[in-house]
Structure 1
């Protein structure tokens, strides 16, 4: 598996290598990509498991409408609780967000655009690690895996019922997250580690 390290310098984003001159104290230092990716995968898998199990329970208790209401109220707090548990900044970011708080920032948009190009080329999507300022970022793709997701994110009138579309519009007046098809990129997992967190991982090797 090939992993990409992008070292981002403010205000210019540029690629760097380990032969680079000494960094200033407010920039992330060299890190082990494989270790960061493993930690990112562990955290995002825990987040996926937590969110999906709660979502499935909401559907079982009250159908798609109940799931939509659950997401509008509980998805962000659950994600925030995992951020606090792991002492990282964890979120789901999208170029077509449902919740405006999940709008991808410029760094996340760059990764999303990269993934979209790879999908067109039918290439596999791999996690990305990015050093930006004094933080290490982990990004991984979120794709539409099945019909369950299309009930809320698919095509209105075909995958999404009229009643459920009305609920979406009531809960999210500025929704951009419909019209997706199976396998399309919904967004990315975004995990931001502090340098001290990454340094502590290195000590466990």
Structure 2
């Protein structure tokens, strides 16, 4: 059933781009960006869940190191956008925030609603539109991104240290802002 929803999301993104290309409607960047981010998130979670099921966090960590950026990049290319996952506490240095992104991250983090949701943010320049979509921490994340020796087991910490010696992506709680999807469109 989830494969159908991924396909439907892909169709929605493609149809939106076609309509804009032919001048039939104005592109709603935020809606399209959210669909692209949802596709990436769903794809990553499906593959991560399978990796966790076949070998726990000890197997999932090397999988993420080898595949998370590739999966994100391929979904971005398929949708003709620059898609990145960025964080103030990156595990992979390529996901580190720029100074401008740090300010956006702090702004989004400060605007968490009473319901625990974070807003998106749109930045438009002459040539691009970038939509920043929050990535809140969910329970599944805590096995590798929670508190060391509480949610993160010692064997997991050992693999993290081996794979990511400069790891900063720990200490999160359910609902905390773990990162952002950055979806950049060229005008």
Question: Does TM-score exceed 0.5, indicating one fold?
Answer: yes
Are residue 109 (structure 1) and residue 102 (structure 2) matched? yes
Residue in structure 2 matching 1:192, options 161, 184, 187: 184
Larger radius of gyration: 1
Are residue 158 (structure 1) and residue 150 (structure 2) matched? yes
Are residue 46 (structure 1) and residue 39 (structure 2) matched? yes
Give the whole-Å Cα distance in 1 for the aligned partners of 2:113 and 2:166: 28
| 8 A Cα contact 1:144 1:185, kept in partner | yes
| 8 A Cα contact 1:144 1:181, kept in partner | yes
Give the whole-Å Cα distance in 1 for the aligned partners of 2:37 and 2:113: 25
SS of the residue 1:97 aligns to:
coil
Q: Give the superposition deviation at 1:181.
A: 1.1
Aligned-CA RMSD value: 1.9
Question: Matched residue pairs, number?
Answer: 163
Aligned to 2:168: 176
Cα deviations by residue, 1:24-65 (Å, 9 ceiling, x for unpaired): xxxxxxxx9981111001100110111000000000111111
Moved over 6 A (4+): 120-123
SS of the residue 1:119 aligns to:
coil
Q: Give the superposition deviation at 1:132.
A: 3.1
Give the whole-Å Cα distance in 1 for the aligned partners of 2:53 and 2:116: 36
Give the whole-Å Cα distance in 1 for the aligned partners of 2:50 and 2:127: 39
Which ranges in structure 2 are unaligned for 5 or more consecutive residues? 1-24
Give the whole-Å Cα distance in 2 for the aligned partners of 1:102 and 1:124: 22
Give the whole-Å Cα distance in 1 for the aligned partners of 2:108 and 2:28: 22
More helix by share: 2
Cα deviations by residue, 1:71-122 (Å, 9 ceiling, x for unpaired): 0001111111111101110010001000000001123212210122223987
SS of the residue 1:90 aligns to:
strand
Q: 1:33 to 1:142 in 2, by over 3 A?
A: farther
* Superposition map of 1:47-196 within 5 A: 47-119=40-112, 124-146=117-139, 148-195=140-187
TM-score, length of structure 1 as denominator length = 0.75
